[in-house]
Structure 1
Amino acid sequence: MYAPESAPLSPLLSTGQVSRTRAFAPGTGSGQSMQRASRVPTPDELMDWAEQRFPSLFGSHETSQTADGLIYRYYPGTQHYLGVYQDHVLVLGPASGNVVVNVGSLARFADAVFSAGGPFNDEEAARFLLQAQFSASTTDIATLRSTTYEAWLESQFNTAPGITGWDWLTLRGYATISSDTAYYDNNYQGDYMIWHQLMTSPDAVRKRVALALSEIFVVSLNGVDISWRSHAMAHYWDQLVANAFGNYRKLLEDVTLNAAMGYYLNTRGNQKENPATGRQPDENYAREVLQLFTIGLVDLNPDGTPRRDSSGATIDSYSQNDITHLARVFTGYDYDQSQNQPSNVPGTTRTVPSLHYVRLPMALNASRHSTLESRFLGTTIPANTPGAVAMQIALDTLFNHPNVGPFIGRQLIQRLVTSNPSPAYVSRVTAAFNNNGAGVRGDLRAVIKTILLDDEARSPMGLTDPQFGKLREPMLRLVQWGRTFGIRSAQNSWKIGNLSNAGSQLGQSPLRSPSVFNFFRPGYVPPSTALASTGAVAPEFQLVNESSVGGYLNYIQGVIRNGIYVSAPDRPNNGTSELRGYDITANYANELALVTNPDALVARINLLMCAGQLSAQTVTLISDALKTSNVTASSTESVKLNRVAAAIFLVMASAEYLIQK
């Protein structure tokens, strides 16, 4: 006979951690809104979870057995049974008074098993934080552990943005007109701007999502050669930030009319056809908005898998004719110069425009806009439709295409969680894109929440699944290091430049993609590897080669130990000043406090940088390496710093750090 479900002898319900999960079970009246797990755990998933969470009761991994409909495991070390019978979770052993206790249904434990309610330990908290933002501090971990994943995300959605990239550039003096600095013709200050944004902004989740969007809607500092190009890129970045938790439809329109994008993909100055000369509208933006920003190359099912025709072939999502007709919509647009107040550059004959035009949406010149009929993706825009109306129809058509949810959703999963999401995971994200629960399509807040709270993202099973996870991008490794260890710029210069050189730097720098196709393709498969034989993809590995591996290690080793050298930290422009030196440095006070205890030092770094995912073997290797040099409380500060830097470097060089799970 089963004891009552509320029996105080129940070992699972007598713990503080699981009683919290129980409080959020249906019908308990907790008063808190919870993201429910989207499926019920299997008996094996429940028992695997219990072994991890309650090792004092179920301390070994045992094989499941069956008897008369009961699925159970016996743990000889503690003499406990854990089983499932007709959806009831049962415990028998010394902790239950040697009577069978029904501790609830499988469904009741769904949130706990898939960790959708909240983290049960520091490692789970750190793992979530490293997916949702750039870093995990001890304060972040404690804050998250005091609440639920959903409540924490809501607080981040409502966190006020920090200073915009545009305002930071202007406050630093980069809007000054001078032939000595020529900021209007340079883009290096754009690098300083974006690194400052990523390293210091208080709204880290918003900035993390914006960075992911910048790798889908690509505009690069390398390819925007206009006056005030750094301010143009700052405004582009600010628009990604502003729309990160907004609606995809507005994001699509803002990007389409943005001055930097207009230059990068030739919308700016695009003119209607001219039969006399044979001129046709430029098709660049029409092609890329289809291929990269909305629907992709082939028709997709909601789960992201390709649709196929009766012969098994994939189905093209658009044709050349669609591109040609859509290109007509994007004619007639140019920079909005209505607020332009050009200035002479002192001491020269040069005149430069004011900043306004790179911040204003491009304006339509009706005389340059094609008035021909446009037919694409099953939509017809009649001849002589006003240009602004034609634009709205075109963007609505793209936005409402069934491919957008799975095409964009899968890429956001890849950027934040794992390179190879299951079709079921993609399908759940697509559903959130299609309807946020209130009938709204394209709500990115709902999409991000679904990605981060999904069972597949939160389940500990991903930690041992070789198909789960992703390679950390080099630029994210540097940002994680900086935010984890309290990076600061003594003179507020933030002169971290273009780090794209693979041989001596990171081989990647934010807003510096080499082309509109980003740093890597979503479907990239490293050739001649085990991944290639399984059909899995590894996008970030497109950045990996012999040169980039050595370049990363050499660069990061020096930065960890010394910081980043700046020639003129007290001046906005390039040059050399008396204050030259390591202006941008980390604060290792907490690590230095553990410097005489290598095991504790490595444990701290493992938690903050790897969410505790380093194997015991790797932890031992690093700790033993640190112990080869004697460091005591009386050692010099330089010797102590050497040990801390070595510990961080060895962690950041390890394969178990480089692959984020």
Structure 2
Amino acid sequence: MTHAHEASDAALAAPLHARTASSLSPADAAPTASDSAGAPWLKLSAAAAASAALAACGGGEAEAEAPQALKQADNAPRMPLLGDMGGSGSFRSDQAASRTPTPDELMDWAEMVFPQYFDSHQATVTSGTLVFRYYGGTRNYLGVYQGNVVVLGPPTNNAVVNVGALASFGDAVFSSGRPLNDQDAARFLLQAGFAATTQDIATVRSIGFDAWLNSQFNAPIGISGWEWLNQRGYAAVDNSTAYYDNTYPGDCMIWSQLMTSPDGLRKRVALALSEIFVVSLSGLDFNWRSHAIAHYWDTLVFHSFGNFRNLLQDVSLNPAMGYYLNTRGNQKENTATGRQPDENYAREVMQLMSIGLVMLNIDGTVRRDGAGQPIESYSQSDVTNLARVFTGYDYNQSLNQQGTVPGTTRTVPNTAFTRLPMSLNASLHSNLAVNFLGATIPANTPGAAALATAMDTLFYHGNVAPFICKQLIQRLVTSNPSPAYVARVATVFNNNGASVRGDMKAVVRAILLDDEARSSEGLKQPGFGKLREPMLRLVQWGRTFNISSNFGSWKIGDTSSASSRLGQSPLRSPSVFNFFRPGYVPPSTALAQSGAVAPEFQLVNESSVGGYLNYIQGVIRNGIYVNAPDLPNNGSNGNNGYDIKALYTHEMVLVVDPDALVARINLLMCAGQLSAATVKLIADAIKATPVTAASTDAVKLNRIASAIFLVMASAEYLIQK
């Protein structure tokens, strides 16, 4: 390896000295060549530099040897060099930091902020307690030795400079607001949305986390699920198709929304909300049930970045929820017959959608009485009283136009009622006083006012912030957030900084930008992360590899079968308690012994594991077979075939390079989190079948599909960190 002329060294060092001169004392200045005779400043000779650089670049050595000068780092004086390289003059490495970065995080950050000094590098080298990288383009070394950040290269006259304690760089590293590398960007995108494409990664690296979130918050919602059904012809009244009696149009709608919507963050949050405010398409049995679930989905989408108070009320008046939990047609008490208001929704809106079963601290931990027992958050009396508020409501038929089904005597309403809030019939509404959760709604209070008071009482309850925020963290980031993480997000729910409570944008931002979500420490912790839900795996595959439906059918269907499909299908929970409970613990496991929870594991059994693998293997290779993709109905015609497929355009370019192919899939699907052993295992497996540029497309596709399948079957993919 050759070196640039000494004049180039001086030119490189000049900007550094110019920036440090005004802010550093003479004692802090970088050592000169004359200092190199002293033991702490062993100047790196040209031969040593060449040898170390060659080793660091993999030039015939199994592991690079640390230069002798770097090994003297513990004796080197401290100076705030990196901060002054940035030119701001404000960062001092001796300031306190909230979190200590890892050596890799520190070096990734330095490369991003100071590319003129730390350009492309080879692998990180570990030599005893020294961790470092060599940058061949600028001939600089950057490392961490015994907890201190050290630099060596032309800007320091090839002498070791102790920049400061690694711990003191936390604020600088983590306040940059940008991913430190492609893997960091992909990890963020997989928490914040459904997939991480190369374009997405480049964008978030360019503009940073906060700007990316703002772009998603401001992105247009796009076509609603309800309108999509109409555009596809699902509002037609015909006895042969009977869309008004079928649920499969609702499946097509939600898969289209999840696979194609450009506002991925909004749809991801809406899907998380659908697992808290549960309405299941499988439990709806009335006219235009698919349109009803579509509008329910649209309601969750609309409020994903709105205010929780409005979400709570609109869900309560939604016709799909009204049918599902019995507020539709719920009537006041009748002393003559003994009839009492139905209590189903009153119970579930407290237990599942707002305050939970027991009293909570702001950090989500359980409040206990003097005997150490959990304190219940509500009583049966609270349920009975609140149920009176939800009486007198029914479908709003003000825009109803009855039509006769051609060829029959049956009449059906139009679809308008499915997206109108339920209306109140005052004569069927209870006029009794309501006393619940310490609030009183006086007797004879009008129904709308009673509902508003009830919603406010729930909204301002102290449990709402930790109860809802913890579940959103579980859906987006990790099953076992620390109490401190929950408290930080719940505090934002209570006050977004502008005295606004329930700001969902602020909550989502707090969840995704929290240190616990962004820190690489979670990658090392066995208890961090979550099992990827089966439906999210399918959506991730589709969005990652540019899935399309040639005829726009999106007839993926109900994927609830555990033995032959995913064992989970969006908006088709088996009950109001979702597919899994937030506190589920797999019995007789190490998780149970540790006290950790693993909600998504409630879906896992022998049948579901085999069903997922068999289903996804065929989907990856062939796509999804659809009957009559050109028609909205479930008929059959000459267009039957694999209408829904991935393109694999970029993967085809890499197909003859198995290592590069697996590396790409690892980045996009796993944020680079597959271990070296797993990467090698998969690469070796697909190398077993030779593929060349002259191979047929079918042979090439087999290799691509095999690589993706092996990744999606691996434990390191299934657990998202």
Cα distance between partner residues in 2 of 1:441 and 1:24:
37
Q: Secondary structure of 2:654's match?
A: coil
Of the candidates 577, 583, 587, which is equivalent to residue 527 of structure 1?
A: 587
> Aligned to 1:643, which of 683, 695, 703?
703
Q: Specify the SS of the correspondent of 2:637.
A: coil
3-state SS of paired residue (2:126): coil
For 1:604 and 1:337, the matched residues in 2 are separated by 53
1:211 to partner: Cα distance: 0.3
CA contact (8 A) 2:405 2:411 kept: yes
How much does 1:279 deviate? 0.4
Determine whether 1:301 maps to 2:361.
yes
Residue of 265, 276, 279 corresponding to 2:336: 276
- 1:470 is matched with 530
Task: Indicate how the Cα distance of structure 1 residues 9 and 593 shifts in structure 2: closer, same or farther if over 3 A, else same.
Answer: farther
Is 1:204 the equivalent of 2:261?
no
TM-score by length of 1: 0.91
Once the two structures are TM-superposed, the CA of residue 48 in structure 1 deviates from its matched residue by 6.6
Tell whether 2:628 aligns with 1:568: yes
- Taking the TM superposition and a 5 Å limit, the aligned residue runs for 1:181-192 are 181-192=241-252
Q: 2:171 aligns with which of 87, 110, 116?
A: 110
2:274 maps to 1:218: no
Residue of structure 2 aligned with 1:59, choices 125, 131, 134? 125
For each residue in 1:300-336, what CA deviation from the matched residue of structure 2 results, as whole angstroms up to 9, or x when unmatched?
0000000111111110000000000000011111111
Query: Which aligned pairs between 1:563-602 and structure 2 lie closer than 5 A?
Result: 563-602=623-662
Given the superposition, is the C-alpha separation of residues 485 and 5 from structure 1 closer, same or farther in structure 2, using an over 3 Å criterion?
A: farther
Displacement of 1:40 in angstroms is 2.7
Residues 1:47 and 1:569: Cα distance change in structure 2 (over 3 Å) = closer
Q: Deviations over 1:325-350 (max 9, x none)?
A: 00001111111111111101111000
Corresponding residue number in structure 2 for 1:504: 564
Please give the residue correspondences for 1:120-159 in structure 2 after superposition, counting only pairs within 5 Å: 120-159=180-219
Is 1:623 paired with 2:683? yes
Q: Provide the residue aligned with 1:69 in structure 2.
A: none
Q: Tell whether 2:489 aligns with 1:429.
A: yes
1:129-167 per-residue CA deviation (whole Å, 9 max, x = no partner) reads 000000000000001110110111011100111211011
CA shift for structure 1 position 449? 0.2
How far 1:49 sits from its partner (Å)?
Answer: 3.6
Q: How far does residue 567 in structure 1 lie from its aligned partner after superposition?
A: 1.1
Aligned to 1:70: none
Rate the CA distance shift 1:355–1:110 in 2: closer, same or farther, 3 A.
same
Counterpart check, 1:606 vs 2:606: no
Distance 1:256 1:464, change over 3 A: same
1:254 to 314, 339, 349: 314
CA contact (8 A) 1:295 1:403 kept: yes
Instruction: Measure, in 2, the Cα distance between the counterparts of 1:61 and 1:471.
Output: 35
State whether structure 2 residue 232 is matched by structure 1 residue 175: no
Structure 1 residues 615 and 374: alpha-carbon distance in aligned structure 2, compared to 1, 3 A threshold: same
Q: How does 1:409-448 map to 2 (within 5 A)?
A: 409-448=469-508
Alignment partner of 1:408 is 2:465: no
| Residue 81 (structure 1) shift | 6.0
State how far apart, in whole Å, the 1-side matches of 2:302 and 2:133 are: 57
TM-score normalised by the chain length of structure 2: 0.83
CA distance in 2, matches of 1:632, 1:308: 66
Q: Structure 2 CA distance, aligned partners of 1:538 and 1:24?
A: 45
Quick check: 1:40 aligned with 2:101? no
The alpha-carbon distance between structure 1 residues 137 and 519, as it changes in their structure 2 partners (threshold 3 A), is same
- The Cα offsets for residues 102-128 of structure 1, whole Å up to 9 and x where unpaired, read as 46995663252x476110110000000
1:505 alignment partner AA: R
What SS does the corresponding residue of 2:207 show, helix, strand or coil? coil
Q: Where does residue 393 of structure 2 map in the other structure?
A: 333
5+ long unaligned stretches in structure 2? 1-19, 32-77, 111-120, 135-140
Quote how far apart the aligned CAs of 1:199 are. Answer: 0.1
- Residue segments in structure 1 that go unaligned for 5+ positions in a row: 29-38, 64-72
Larger relative contact order, structure 1 or 2 (CA cutoff 8 Å, min sep 6): 1
Q: Does 1:345 align with 2:405?
A: yes
Going from structure 1 to structure 2, the CA distance change for 1:19 and 1:574 (only over 3 Å counts) comes to farther
Structure 1: distance between partners of 2:142 and 2:210: 37
Residues in 2 aligned to 1:109 and 1:413: alpha-carbon distance in whole angstroms = 23
**Aligned: 1:50 with 2:116:** no
Aligned to 1:60, the other structure's residue is in SS state strand
Q: 1:238: which partner in 2?
A: 298
Distance 1:535 1:3 in 2: 55
**Pair 1:392-2:462 in alignment:** no
Instruction: Return the alpha-carbon distance in structure 1 between the equivalents of residues 544 and 380 of structure 2.
Output: 48
- Give me the whole-angstrom Cα distance separating, in 2, the residues matched to 1:144 and 1:75: 27
Q: Which amino acid aligns with 1:60?
A: T
Identity of aligned residues (%): 65
Q: Distance in 2 between matches of 1:466 and 1:423?
A: 17
Residue pair 2:79, 2:163 contacting (<8 A) in 1 also? no
After superposition, the Cα gap between the structure-2 partners of 1:42 and 1:335, relative to the gap in structure 1 and judged at 3 Å, is closer
Distance 2:557 2:702 in 1: 25
**What does residue 367 of structure 1 align with?**
427
Q: Could you tell me which amino acid in structure 2 is paired with residue 109 of structure 1?
A: G
1:164 aligns with 2:221: no
SS at match of 2:508: helix
Is residue 450 of structure 1 aligned with residue 510 of structure 2? yes
* 8 A contact 2:277–2:352 mirrored in 1: yes
- Count of equivalent residues: 632
Does the 8 Å CA contact 1:115/1:455 hold for their aligned counterparts? no
Q: SS where residue 605 of structure 1 aligns?
A: helix
Q: Helix, strand or coil for the counterpart of 2:625? A: strand
1:196-248 C-alpha deviation (Å, 9 max, x unpaired): 00000010100000000000000000011110000000000001000000000
Which one of the candidate residues 304, 314, 317 is aligned to 2:374? Answer: 314
Could you report, residue by residue, the CA deviation over 1:273-317 in whole angstroms, capped at 9, with x for unpaired residues? 001110000000000000000000000000000011111111000
CA distance in 2, matches of 1:393, 1:547: 47
Mapping of residues 68-87 of structure 1, within 5 Å: 82=145
Which amino acid in 2 is paired with 1:243? Answer: H
Q: Find the aligned partners of 2:656 and 2:297 in 1 and give their Cα distance.
A: 44
Q: Quick check: 2:357–2:377 contact (8 Å CA) kept in 1?
A: yes
Q: Deviation per CA, 1:80-102, whole angstroms, max 9, x where unpaired? A: 66577xxxx76465574436454
Matches of 1:408 and 1:293 in 2, distance apart? 8
Distance 1:578 1:81 in 2: 66
Contact 1:51 1:58 in 2 (8 A): no
Larger Rg: 2
Kindly provide the amino acid, as one letter, of the partner of residue 210 in structure 2. E
The answer to whether the Cα contact below 8 Å between 2:125 and 2:133 also exists between their aligned partners in 1 is no
Please say if residues 520 and 540 of structure 1, whose CA atoms lie closer than 8 Å, have aligned partners that are also in contact. Answer: yes
Q: 1:107 to 1:449 in 2, by over 3 A?
A: farther
Shift of 1:634: 0.8
Instruction: Report the Cα distance in structure 1 between the residues aligned to 2:675 and 2:562, rounded to whole angstroms.
Output: 29
Structure 2: distance between partners of 1:648 and 1:492: 25
Q: Is the Cα contact below 8 Å between 1:191 and 1:497 reproduced in 2?
A: yes
> CA separation in 1, counterparts of 2:292 and 2:201?
36
1:391 CA drift (Å): 0.2
